[in-house]
């Protein structure tokens, strides 16, 4: 049973970080957000303007749409990667794991600037497409939704891979042996065992990526123009 002294000690230990969060984060954010209700035209006037003016509504829809498309792309890329990671052993496991984790160690700003070099009008991607005869003139990839999409997917894919991998790792291997023993083909085992049991991880990863995409700033600001 916890003594009175231990309770006080726990509260005292929590007091400093809690105080710092309140003073350095909650208070300034609350001050900033409270300004939304201090308009001369009325407390809800800025909200009405943002929700009714066409340009602002379009930006909101664009943000939601881009977040949804990025989430879908991240999940579609992350699932095979997580599946391969789950099945890989030894050196291959480490190679795939580091390929997933390494981008997380590099600053988002650096990765986004590297995308600027790749996507620019005379960049390697456009040169390869023109050189390969796929297009007649360079595409406008930079400062467009396509550029923002590519950059965001690149940054956010690891955040989808890790929850899906965790979900796949939790699947009881006996279920797969049972599926195999009952004569299911690999495709049937995937469709009836792997996929349904990994759905919580897929949903978790998708939710995580969607939430990050909604408030993403650096990549859209640099690649979207």
Partner 1 sequence: MNAISLSMLIQQFVTEQLDWTRAAAASIILFGTVLLVLAISARFLRIGQSGAR
Q: Which is nearer to partner 1, 145 or 189 (CB)?
A: 145
Name the residue nearer to partner 1 (CB basis): 60 or 98.
Answer: 60
Taking CB under 8 A as the criterion, the residue among 11, 23, 24, 49 binding partner 1 is 49
Least distance from partner 1 to the Cβ atom of residue 125, Å: 17
Q: Which position has the token pair 């792309």?
A: 73
Q: How many CA atoms lie within 13 A of 153 on its CB side?
A: 18
Contact 150, 139 (CB under 8 A): no
Joined together, the tokens standing for residue 3 give 């003594």
Query: Which residue stretch of 6-14, 32-40, 113-121, 184-192 sits at the interface with partner 1 (rule: CB under 8 A)?
Result: 32-40
Residue 139: C-alpha distances to residues 102, 136, 145, 166, 224 (Å): 30, 9, 12, 39, 15
Distance CA 204, CA 66 (A): 19
Among 33, 91, 110, 187, binds partner 1 (CB under 8 A): 33
Segment near partner 1 (CB under 8 A), from 5-13, 58-66, 93-101, 175-183? 58-66
Q: From residue 94 to residue 133, what is the string marking binding to partner 1 with x (rule CB under 8 A)?
A: ----------------------------------------
- Of 214, 219, 220, 202, the C-alpha closest to 74 is 202
């Amino acid at each position: 049973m916890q003594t009175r002294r231990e309770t006080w000690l726990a509260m005292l230990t929590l007091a400093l970080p809690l105080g710092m969060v309140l003073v350095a984060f909650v208070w300034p954010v609350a001050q900033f957000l409270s300004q939304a209700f201090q308009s001369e035209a009325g407390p809800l006037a800025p909200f009405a303007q943002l929700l009714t003016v066409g340009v602002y509504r379009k930006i909101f829809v664009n943000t939601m749409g881009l977040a949804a498309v990025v989430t879908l792309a991240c999940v579609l890329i992350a699932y095979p990667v997580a599946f391969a990671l789950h099945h890989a052993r030894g050196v291959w496991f480490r190679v795939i794991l580091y390929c997933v984790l390494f981008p997380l160690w590099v600053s988002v700003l650096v990765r986004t600037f590297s995308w600027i070099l790749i996507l620019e009008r005379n960049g390697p991607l456009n040169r390869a497409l023109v050189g390969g005869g796929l297009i007649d003139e360079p595409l406008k990839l930079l400062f467009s939704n396509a550029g923002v999409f590519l950059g965001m997917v690149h940054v956010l894919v690891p955040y989808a891979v890790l929850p899906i991998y965790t979900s796949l790792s939790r699947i009881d291997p006996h279920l797969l042996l049972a599926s195999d023993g009952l004569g299911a083909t690999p495709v049937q085992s995937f469709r009836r065992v792997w996929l349904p049991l990994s759905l919580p991880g897929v949903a978790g990863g998708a939710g995580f990526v969607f939430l990050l995409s909604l408030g993403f700033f650096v990549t859209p600001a640099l690649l979207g123009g």
